[in-house]
Amino acid sequence: MEEAGREKDISVAVEDLGAATKDTVNISAKPTRRYPLLSWTTILALIALVGVYIFSVSFKQNGMLLGLMQTNMIEKQREKLCQDPSIPVTEIPYVHYPTPDTYSRKECACTPVRFFAILSMQRSGSGWIETLLNSHENISSNGEIFSIKERRSNITSITKTLDKLYNLDWLSSAAKNECTAAVGLKWMLNQGLMKHHKEIAEYFNQRGVSAIFLLRRNLLQRYVSVLANAHDSATKQLNGTHKSHVHSKHEAEVLAQFKPEINTTSLIADLKKFDKLAADALVNFKTTRHIILYYEDVVSNKTKLMDVLDFMRLPKRKLSSRHVKIHTKLLRDHIYNWADVNKTLMGTQYESFLND
Ligand SMILES: *[C@@H]1O[C@H](CO)[C@@H](O)[C@H](O)[C@H]1NC(C)=O
Ligand SMILES: *[C@@H]1O[C@H](CO)[C@@H](O)[C@H](O)[C@H]1NC(C)=O
Ligand SMILES: *[C@@H]1O[C@H](CO)[C@@H](O)[C@H](O)[C@H]1NC(C)=O
Ligand SMILES: *[C@@H]1O[C@H](CO)[C@@H](O)[C@H](O)[C@H]1NC(C)=O
Ligand SMILES: *[C@@H]1O[C@H](CO)[C@@H](O)[C@H](O)[C@H]1NC(C)=O
Ligand SMILES: *[C@@H]1O[C@H](CO)[C@@H](O)[C@H](O)[C@H]1NC(C)=O
């Protein structure tokens, strides 16, 4: 279905082009008799000027398009060298053969690489999921690259960063050997992703990047995690260091001792806001090839991650992570003013969040 989305985009573009040509023909065919040649030339010159202006404006805003065309052309060249007849035609847009600037892929130069992005929100289990994926010998997920403000300050910065990542030149702790078969990052919706969604979706489609949405079903649980994490950020409960993820049961217990008090005046509006953000993200990137993963589903069934390996056409492997879950009790035991919260959500669309 996602492949169909891509093809539709192309055919729309072609249609637009056809309409434009038709318009030009119409203009130049009709009024020659009514206007003297001189003013006709002026009109043509004006049209040309406007054209140049529009091009230069769109080029400045969207200089990425030309760059993308070049990148795609270079990739096409390499595809020819590495041609693998076993790859189905529909898969070809998603298969890449990067040549990093900083090292040689050696015998794996023709190992196909898939590009992905884990799209998520803070405190949705993306740290855990990412370590699980990185335990696969062929996956390099390079963390929250766009947590650094400068990298997301404008679309030029964003594309430059993505280009480097997908060219396998991003050297993080997750960087694997030259046989990486899937490269990506973890990208929070509030890290420029929604702000520049149009250009980023275009980039994803042009470069064949697949999206892995990681969302929470229970937004109240996520809220507890957000508040508890903010509290630890301020109080540094583990010997004076703030930890967003822990590796031992003891550390998890220390962090889970804090029970946030939830502001019930703003609770419904807050939940609606989270809900809408996730829904908008799905709409904004609906033309991108994607899979939707819910944190709760992975917690109850680790095999769900095999769907992600399938989605990226990677060999199935057992995945592992050292992360230990922080909030393991019933939700009522993690919220200070549970009775109020219960009263606030009873009878609303979010009532089900109370029963976990
Ligand atoms: C995964 O990595 C291993 C070890 O580097 C390599 O031998 C293998 O070909 C890779 N598999 C894929 C599907 O790229
Ligand atoms: C984009 O952001 C980068 C980094 O903040 C900055 O150096 C650059 O001048 C900006 N470019 C444009 C076109 O605004
Ligand atoms: C703090 O450090 C001490 C000694 O290194 C250790 O025994 C203790 O468990 C730590 N406390 C926490 C809350 O991690
Ligand atoms: C709770 O939310 C309301 C509405 O947003 C706000 O006016 C109030 O100050 C908040 N209370 C606290 C204790 O933060
Ligand atoms: C766990 O997830 C896998 C992959 O989606 C699915 O095939 C399987 O039926 C699930 N198991 C359970 C018990 O839901
Ligand atoms: C919420 O409150 C209602 C009414 O007081 C009670 O019947 C229900 O058990 C409570 N739900 C939870 C999950 O505590």
Residue 165 lies in a domain: yes
List the one residue out of 331, 356, 329 whose CA is nearest residue 262: 331
Please report the pLDDT score of residue 26 as a whole number.
39
Residues 6 or more apart whose CB falls under 8 angstroms from that of 278 comprise 121, 189, 215
Residue whose CA is closest, atom 6 of ligand 1?
A: 179
In the chain, which residues have pLDDT < 70?
Answer: 1-38, 40, 43, 47, 50-66, 75-76, 78
Please report the pLDDT score of residue 174 as a whole number.
75
Residue 15 lies in a domain: no
Distance 311 CA to ligand 5 centre (A): 15
Number of domains in the chain: 1
What is the amino acid identity at position 94?
Y
**Cβ of residue 157 lying under 6 Å from some atom of ligand 2:** yes
Residue 6 lies in a domain: no
With 0.85 as the threshold, say if the pTM is over it. Answer: no
Ligand nearest to the CA of 151: 2
Residue 287 lies in a domain: yes
Please report the pLDDT score of residue 145 as a whole number.
97
Please report the pLDDT score of residue 230 as a whole number.
93
Please report the pLDDT score of residue 352 as a whole number.
96
- Read off the pLDDT of residues 249-296 as tens digits, 9 standing for 90 and up: 999 998 999 999 999 999 999 999 999 999 999 999 999 999 999 999
Ligand nearest to the CA of 355: 6
Residue whose CA is closest, atom 4 of ligand 6?
A: 343
| Structure tokens that stand for 350 in this block | 């979010």
Alpha carbon distance 108, 178 (integer Å):
6
Please say whether the beta carbons of 149 and 132 come within 8 A.
Answer: no
Please report the pLDDT score of residue 56 as a whole number.
57
Residue 330 lies in a domain: yes
Residue 7 lies in a domain: no
Please report the pLDDT score of residue 107 as a whole number.
86
- Read off the pLDDT of residues 217-245 as tens digits, 9 standing for 90 and up: 999 999 999 999 999 999 999 999 999 99
Which atom of ligand 3 is the closest one to the Cα of 251? Answer: 14
Residue 33 lies in a domain: no
Distance 254 CA to ligand 4 centre (A): 28
Which atom of ligand 5 is the closest one to the Cα of 306? Answer: 4
Distance 260 CA to ligand 4 centre (A): 14
The domain of 178 spans 60-82+91-355
Radius of gyration (C-alpha) of the chain in whole angstroms: 25
Distance 273 CA to ligand 6 centre (A): 25
Distance 87 CA to ligand 1 centre (A): 16
Residue 14 lies in a domain: no
Please report the pLDDT score of residue 33 as a whole number.
52
> What's the CATH number where 113 sits?
3.40.50
